[in-house]
Amino acid sequence: DSGVTQTPKHLITATGQRVTLRCSPRSGDLSVYWYQQSLDQGLQFLIQYYNGEERAKGNILERFSAQQFPDLHSELNLSSLELGDSALYFCASSVDKGLAADTQYFGPGTRLTVL
């Protein structure tokens, strides 16, 4: 267990709908990252938040948005869902307090199925 939690574990919805995925980082971690992994694909970086502020953006669609709350948990909102959005969505967290890059620890993921 990495200490990163994600809910829900599975989500099945229809095209055009909107869903919210939730992530709680490890205790003490300030950074949260979101990744999308389609079937048999690599990890596509979506977005990073650090202590409530957006720090880095990857290939995140305009239909997707995220935020990090004062208690450091994060939510990823996916709207106007399409079939191609079906994927595993991972959250990861890291401390990011020192001078060096830190290890990212991954949550168990949310499997999104869009029908």
Partner 1 sequence: GENVEQHPSTLSVQEGDSAVIKCTYSDSASNYFPWYKQELGKRPQLIIDIRSNVGEKKDQRIAVTLNKTAKHFSLHITETQPEDSAVYFCAASRRASKIIFGSGTRLSIRP
- With vertex at residue 31, the alpha carbon angle to CA 109 and CA 96, rounded to the nearest 5 degrees, is 130
Q: Does 26 bind partner 1 (CB under 8 A)?
A: no
In the complex, what is the shortest distance from the CB of residue 51 to partner 1, in angstroms, rounded to a whole number? Answer: 12
Which of 51, 56, 59, 63 contacts partner 1 by CB under 8 A? 56
DSSP H helical segments within 1-115, as ranges?
none
- Rounded Cα distance between 16 and 26, Å, is 33
In the complex, what is the shortest distance from the CB of residue 81 to partner 1, in angstroms, rounded to a whole number? Answer: 21
Q: Which residues contact 9 (CB under 8 A, 6 or more apart)?
A: 108, 109, 110, 111
> Which residues lie across from 12 on neighbouring strands?
113
Choice between 27 and 103, CB closer to partner 1: 103
Which of 10, 27, 83, 101 contacts partner 1 by CB under 8 A? 101
In the complex, what is the shortest distance from the CB of residue 60 to partner 1, in angstroms, rounded to a whole number? Answer: 12
The candidate with the shortest Cα–Cα distance to 91, out of 106, 112, 72, is 106
Residues at the interface with partner 1 (CB under 8 A): 2, 33, 42-43, 45, 48, 55-56, 58, 88, 90, 96, 99-109, 111
